[in-house]
Structure 1
Amino acid sequence: MIGKYSLSDGKILIKLAREAIKSEYDKKKVDVPVDAKFKQARGVFVTLNSYPKKELRGCIGLPYPSMSVRDAVVHAAKSAAFDDSRFSVLKREELDKVVIEISILTQPEDTNSKNIKVGVDGLIGEYHGYSGLLLPQVATENSFDKIEFLECLCHKCGVQGDAWQNPNFDLKKFQCQIFSEKTPKGDVEER
């Protein structure tokens, strides 16, 4: 993976995500890391899971490298906490009860169903103006096989589960480097 980050870098980015969310409550500016490695443009997703149940609490990101990693982490963290329409806004008292996961994406590339590695590749699907994205860990966490992963992607796009078989279905894949807290504000691991 191009521009792989160290575990130390992952810890910095997780802390940045948590501080970005906290800054919204405190109405303060976020201090972003100035290291050149965090200025590289990459796709980024931030996922919030309740702790200890690990239930999804928010997940939003930018699939394409439209801003620096540090700015993308800040944007995605705030969006996951406050703008994910599937959930109510994250309350201040909930912040210490969620674990944060950051997925740093490679550039999405065109692919077909034969070239997908379940658990390694994330997917982006586009079909007749509808689109959806699934991170690679979704397949692993749900024990999906390739067909189930593709069907889930179609449902995420809002289309029929077999739409991926249509030649007009645009399929892209990407990989992620994933950093995750083990406990809220606790140790960080690379998954």
Structure 2
Amino acid sequence: MLTLEDGYKLVKAARTAIEQHLANKEVKIDEEIKRYSQKSGVFVTLNKKASKEELRGCIGYPLPTKPLYQALIDAAISATRDPRFEPVRLEEMEGITIELSILTEPELIKVDDPREYPKKIKVGRDGLLIHWRYGSGLLLPQVAIEYNW
């Protein structure tokens, strides 16, 4: 289980990696951050600070395929190039907040009747990874809260 202090360290590592990348410098990973070596899914969300936060990028790994520190750095840098938005510029970083979502291993929700799903999902705690036919989508736990679902 990660602590609040861990969260501060991981956000700082993400910000440092983004700023190094945007300055065209070599991204150096602090040795202390390498202790977060457990495989974990992670999403990095970049929001522009304003009266109402404005999304600037959100990229991540829904499944635990890489060590957390490595997935974090990769996702943080990729979030600056989210194809839905113009690329983030270095001079914007002072006005950008970074939010991390560290994901647990997904669990299959089994029900006999689709109407049972709401009883099995806790809004604000559970994210959803949905696969259907040829596509898939991910809903991070905090999104439902942010949109008052």
TM-score (norm 1): 0.69
In the alignment, what sits opposite 1:174?
none
- Runs of 5+ unmatched residues, structure 2: 111-116
Could you tell me which amino acid in structure 1 is paired with residue 96 of structure 2? V
In the alignment, what sits opposite 2:108?
110
TM-score (norm 2): 0.88
% same residue = 46
Deviating runs (4+, > 6 A) in structure 1? none
1:129 to 2:131 alignment: no
Q: How many Å apart are 1:30 and its aligned residue?
A: 2.5
Distance 1:7 1:66 in 2: 24
Could you tell me which amino acid in structure 2 is paired with residue 66 of structure 1? T
Distance 2:9 2:30 in 1: 8
Distance 1:26 1:94 in 2: 12
Could you tell me which amino acid in structure 1 is paired with residue 88 of structure 2? L
**How does 1:46-61 map onto structure 2 within 5 Å?**
46-52=44-50, 53-61=52-60
Distance 1:37 1:119 in 2: 28
Contact 1:33-1:70 within 8 A present in 2 as well: no
Q: How many Å apart are 1:57 and its aligned residue?
A: 1.1
Please give the per-residue CA displacement for 1:96-119, whole angstroms capped at 9, x wherever unaligned. 111000110000010151311111
Q: How many Å apart are 1:6 and its aligned residue?
A: 1.6
- Runs of 5+ unmatched residues, structure 1: 145-191
Partner SS, residue 110 of structure 1 = coil
Distance 1:29 1:40 in 2: 24
Distance 1:7 1:124 in 2: 25
Contact 1:21-1:81 within 8 A present in 2 as well: yes
Q: How many Å apart are 1:54 and its aligned residue?
A: 1.1
Moved more, 86-95 or 108-117: 108-117
Distance 2:87 2:131 in 1: 28
In the alignment, what sits opposite 2:113?
none
Aligned-pair Cα RMSD in Å: 1.4
Partner SS, residue 36 of structure 2 = helix
Distance 1:139 1:61 in 2: 18
Please give the per-residue CA displacement for 1:30-76, whole angstroms capped at 9, x wherever unaligned. 23243464011100000011103311111110000111111111011
